[in-house]
Amino acid sequence: MAKVYLTAAGLLTILQDGGRTGYQRYGMPVSGAMDALSMRVANALLGNAPEAPVLEATLSGPSLVFEKDTCIAICGADMSPEIDGNEIPMYESIPVRAGDVLRLGNAAWGCRGYIAIAGGFIAPGLMASCATYLPAGIGGIQGRALKKGDILEYAEPSGKVIDRKLGKEWVDWLKREEPFLIFPGPELYRLTRDSIFQFLTNPYTLAAESNRMGYRLQGELIRFKKGAGADIISAGIPQGTIQVPGEGQPIVMMADRQTTGGYARMAVLAQGELSRAAQLKPGDEMRFGEARPEKAMELLKKERELVKLARSC
């Protein structure tokens, strides 16, 4: 085992992996990397298991010093990573030497950057996951965000140098700016036709209080039909669910969402849109479009192809 020292924490840096599935019936939020695709690609570039523990940095990244030679890969938000002052590329495997200082800055693009390390970071698991879930203070390192002075452990380096690099066209695809595809939800019928039309036409802005639990959307308020309320009998809300409370401001449920909710489920993002959504930050715009099943499947296939490619390029 080897160690990495945090000489700066960044704004909100947490250990994440694929999250805790299988416990939602007990009210246990899934958590896990917001941008699961970036996590998978970063891990694939190093030959790791797709959901091996990674660092998720938010808006501004940490600085790390490595104890032993190893390889890393950085994907997701562009935080202008550098080693000992020299800029390093993202979306490829990068050898680091003992004593190297990796520094990430502010996100020039995106919101969440992922740092993977050969063999993965090592942290105690809870329900087969080390995902940090801050509201309950569990997972990761003592259930909290990382801070300056923390020491993390990573797998003993194998000594093997990995040399993989993802083509620019893939990175461009990840950063595509298109409407987010949504499927109708079980309570969509409660909304006025006008509101549904508005929602698919006008842009919405992520409010300041948007976080890993959910994004509050500012824009045209959603109206309910006469006699139709916003409240439902509490029921399941998968990631990407767009709920509408009575005041009409939609909320997109993200990785740290509660397992159940009591507001009308108007729509849900296509699975292949979740990772792209994770790169939005407060103030960013979100547009929506109606998903066709074939198009949604195309996105998923492309995601799979990308991870496969990252593993073999």
246 near another protein, judged by CB under 8 A: no
Using a 10 angstrom Cβ sphere, with 0-12 exposed, 13-18 middle and 19 or more buried, the burial of residue 233 is: exposed
User: What SS3 state is found at 225?
Assistant: coil
Using alpha carbons, select from 228, 219, 223 the residue that is nearest to residue 288.
219
Pairing of strands 180-184, 288-290: parallel
Instruction: Name the token pair of 123.
Output: 């942290």
59 near another protein, judged by CB under 8 A: no
185 near another protein, judged by CB under 8 A: yes
109-113-118 Cα angle (round to 5): 140
What distance in Å separates the CA atoms of residue 165 and residue 156, rounded to the nearest whole number? 23
Using alpha carbons, select from 77, 88, 76, 70 the residue that is nearest to residue 42.
76
Residue corresponding to tokens 């698919």: 200
297 near another protein, judged by CB under 8 A: yes
Residue 247 CB, shortest distance to another protein, in Å, is 18
Which range of residues in 47-55, 130-138, 195-203, 221-229 is near another protein by CB under 8 A? Answer: 130-138
- Interface pick for another protein out of 25, 160, 193, 226 (rule CB under 8 A): 25
258 near another protein, judged by CB under 8 A: yes
Nearest residue (CB) to another protein, 147 versus 304:
304
296 near another protein, judged by CB under 8 A: yes
Residue 232 CB, shortest distance to another protein, in Å, is 9
Which range of residues in 8-16, 52-60, 210-218, 261-269 is near another protein by CB under 8 A? Answer: 261-269
- Binding interface with another protein (CB under 8 A): 21-30, 126-127, 135-138, 143, 182-183, 185-186, 233-236, 238, 240-241, 258-260, 265, 268-271, 291, 293, 296-297, 300, 304
